Amino acid sequence: MSQTWVDVPAGSGFGLRNLPYGVFAPQGGPRRVGVRIGDYVLDLAATLDDPVFASGSLNAFLAQGRARWTEVRNRIVMALTEDAQRSRVEPALHPVDGVRLYLPFEVADYVDFYASEQHATNLGRMFRPDAAPLLPNWKHLPVGYHGRAGTVVASGTAIRRPCGQRKAPDDAAPSFGRSRKLDIEAEVGFVVGAGSPLGDAVTTKDFREHVFGVCLVNDWSARDIQAWEYVPLGPFLGKSFATSLSPWIVPLDALDAARVATPAQDPAPLEYLRESEDWGLDLQLRVRLNGELIAQPPYAQMYWSPAQMLAHMTANGAALRTGDLFASGTVSGPDPSQRGSLIELTWNGAEPITLADGTTRKFLDDGDTVTISADAPGPEGSRIGFGEVIGRIEPAAR
Ligand code: CA
């Protein structure tokens, strides 16, 4: 691949091989779709003279499907590499520090999986100490639940500490109030572009036809609310108050060099969950609390691939819609430094972590800022950056 005429800093995760999509507004201007290159955002409506990118959301473009996604990517590469286009395209570049970034797409349905064997094992040990940590279904299907699409928010949105009903095992009765166990879940999200008809199952082979790209997710979780409410129907208000999304959607086309096999699956999954291609992904996540690195979860260790999640999610004929988001579940690796939630890092508060300023945390305090970032290998030794998903905790409303 040729070089871009844009000045991209050495080591940037946003070179020509990445080109992630987002929605931005220049100072005083309307929202539009752009791609990131180096420290700039390229206005696509202006560059490609195409109104689909002036809508302030990626959805119209997502709905156009794989052939169109590839065509547009090729045209963007030409615009950023051909010297003859430079004078025309350069005015459409905006310094990323000078624009406002928004939620990149309208979320249709939101499903959250539970695909890390380490995370599921750790939580099983904490919540069911007298039983096998993994429930009998876990290695036969990607466990998941439907979340709340309307409370998926852009990175940077303040997260108000939720109130709810909670009852610790020793409490005589439940009470209502501020969550005392507010937590994060560092996850990877998959964005559905092309939908599917009601009644049709989408196979693992069709993953690339439906899924446009990948982003970062922080699935904020109130553990005390969750622990009391989740039996027998699963997560509800302990999760639905907010889920934060990174501003950049990295297209699948940028991730070929990051594809790896999932860990060996034993027992072998049922036929509809088998894959002819590898869709494990070698993303390295980093979790920072008030700027301090507290965990480095490795996505490559995830037991179920996103293609398997998609096949399972539609195995009953449930339709896909443009803008559907499914998240991987908390990414946790085997080493304690690789755990993607505070409940695991502090073992449900039994082993608080000490920060550089000398304070300790079992869970999040008001005023805490959590930043999740990631990168992955790109072609020809490049790195593919995912940017950051950031959220700061505000005090509860009462
Ligand atoms: Ca989750």
Distance from residue 184's CA to the centre of ligand 1 (Å): 9
The per-residue pLDDT for 375 is 98
Question: Average pLDDT, stretch 260-278?
Answer: 97
Q: What is the pLDDT of residue 337?
A: 98
Q: Is the pLDDT of residue 398 over 90?
A: no
Q: In this model, does residue 230 exceed pLDDT 90?
A: yes
pLDDT in tens, 294-307: 999 999 999 999 99
Classified as helix, coil or strand, 384 is: strand
Buried b (16+ CB within 10 A) or exposed e, 23-62: bbbbeeeebbbbbbbbebbbbbbbbbeeebbebbbbbbbb
Q: What are the C-alpha distances in Å from 167 to residues 91, 236, 260?
A: 58, 15, 42
Instruction: Report whether pLDDT(163) > 90.
Output: yes
Residues 6 or more apart whose CB falls under 8 angstroms from that of 135 comprise 124, 143
Overall average pLDDT of the 131-136 stretch: 95
Tell me the pairing of strands 159-160 and 383-394.
parallel
Sign of CA dihedral 2, 79, 374, 254: negative
Ligand 1 centroid to Cα of residue 117, in Å, is 13
pLDDT given for residue 28 in this prediction: 85
Question: Does 119 participate in catalysis according to the annotation?
Answer: yes
- Kindly state the tokens that stand for 55: 């809508």
3-state secondary structure of 396: coil
Ligand 1 centroid – CA 186 distance (Å) = 8
Q: Calculate mean pLDDT across residues 197-212.
A: 98
Distance 26 CA to ligand 1 centre (A): 33
For 72-112, the pLDDT digits (tens) are 999 999 999 999 999 999 999 999 999 999 999 999 999 99
Q: With 70 as the cut, is the pLDDT of residue 121 above it? A: yes
Residue 22: which of 219, 156, 210, 207 has the closest Cα?
A: 156
Catalytic residue among 94, 119, 210, 312: 119
CA 46 – ligand 1 centroid, Å: 38
Average pLDDT of the residues in 254-276: 97
Segment 333-369, tens digit of pLDDT: 999 999 999 999 999 999 999 999 999 999 999 999 9
**Beta-bridge mates of residue 259:** 281
Both tokens assigned to 370: 């959590």
Query: For residue range 22-44, what is the model confidence (pLDDT) as tens digits?
Result: 999 998 899 999 999 999 999 99
Q: How far is the CA of 145 from the centre of ligand 1 (A)?
A: 9
Residue 266: its pLDDT value, please?
Answer: 96
Do the beta carbons of residue 396 and residue 215 sit within 8 Å? no
Mean pLDDT score, 219-248: 97
% of the chain at pLDDT higher than 70: 100
Rounded alpha-carbon distances, angstroms, from residue 298 to 129, 235, 376, 397: 26, 24, 10, 35
What's the CA-to-centroid distance between 15 and ligand 1, angstroms? 30
Say what the pLDDT of residue 301 is. 96
List of domains in the chain = 21-102 (2.30.30.230), 110-394 (3.90.850.10)
pLDDT of 263: 96
Instruction: Tell me, in angstroms, the distance from the centre of ligand 1 to residue 188's CA.
Output: 10
Under the banding of pLDDT at 50, 70 and 90, the label for residue 1 is low
Alpha-carbon distances of 235 from 26, 145, 212, 216, 226, rounded to whole Å: 38, 7, 27, 20, 6
- Mean pLDDT, the chain, rounded, equals 97
Give the pLDDT score at 2: 78
Q: Are 371 and 388 in contact (CB under 8 A)?
A: yes
Q: Taking Cα atoms as reference points, which of 208, 214, 173, 174 lies closest to residue 194?
A: 208
pLDDT in the model for residue 109? 98
Cα(208) to ligand 1 centroid in Å equals: 23
What's the gap in Å between 45 CA and the centre of ligand 1? 35
Residues with CB under 5 A from ligand 1 (ion): 112, 185, 219
